[in-house]
Amino acid sequence: MASGDVVGLIQEIMYPGTLMATPDVILGTSTPAESISVHDFDAATDEYLDLKVELSGYDGGGFTVKIRWISAQTSNDVIWQAAFRAIPDDAEDLDTTAHTYVYNTVTATSASAVGEVDYTTITFTDGADSDSVADGGLCFLRIGRDANAGGDDMTGDASLVSVVITET
């Protein structure tokens, strides 16, 4: 597929056993009001979400993970982090094999108004950087907020609205 095309089909959100980002709803003001589903990432504790992803049409390039989020404040930064775990055919024993996620990060500045959606991206190269995921294969994409890092200085939750996985 060409660069920029969506290659990750997000099938499901999976909640980690601990430190999960919590589901929340931001109410719109239309009539009737939109109930905008989000997941809140804490400001003091690193929290995570796992996405079950099938790769389709992936041509072996890098990945651009697009993160759309709403900040609780109008200034300061959030550090988003993401990492892939490849689940190849007949190879990864999920209930016995611990995987060490190696994160790529981006420091995203909060939008200029609470309620506005900020667009930010995390990029991966092909190969080890994205755990050698392959077209037609299953993988997990773990999204997190590195809240305890010094560069993450925004007080309040970061609310994840959506994630898109494209080929870079």
Q: Which residues bind another protein (CB under 8 A)?
A: 40, 42-45, 72-76, 114, 150, 152-157
Cβ neighbors of 119 (< 8 A, separation 6 or more) are: 66, 67, 68
CB of 146 to another protein, least distance (A): 12
- Residue type for position 113: A
In sequence order, the 6+-apart residues with CB closer than 8 A to the CB of 65 are: 82, 121, 122, 123, 124, 141, 143, 163, 164, 165
Q: Which is nearer to another protein, 29 or 97 (CB)?
A: 29
Which residue type is seen at 58? Y
H/E element, 53: strand 47-55
Order of strands, sheet of 104-109, starting from the edge strand that comes earlier in the sequence: 8-14, 47-55, 138-145, 77-87, 104-109
Q: Least distance to another protein from the beta carbon of 114, Å?
A: 6
Measured from the CB atom, the residue of 110 and 130 that comes closer to another protein is 110
Query: Is the CB of 46 or the CB of 153 nearer to another protein?
Result: 153
Q: How far is the CB of 23 from another protein (least distance, A)?
A: 14
If the CB atoms of residues 48 and 84 are measured against another protein, the closer one turns out to be 48
Q: Give residues with Cβ within 8 angstroms of 40, minimum separation 6.
A: 21, 22, 23, 24, 157, 158, 159, 160
* Minimum gap (Å) between residue 110 Cβ and another protein: 10
Taking the complex as a whole, the smallest distance from the CB of residue 81 to another protein amounts, in Å, to 17
User: Is 157:23 a contact under the CB 8 Å cutoff?
Assistant: no
Closer Cβ to another protein, 112 or 162, answer by number: 112
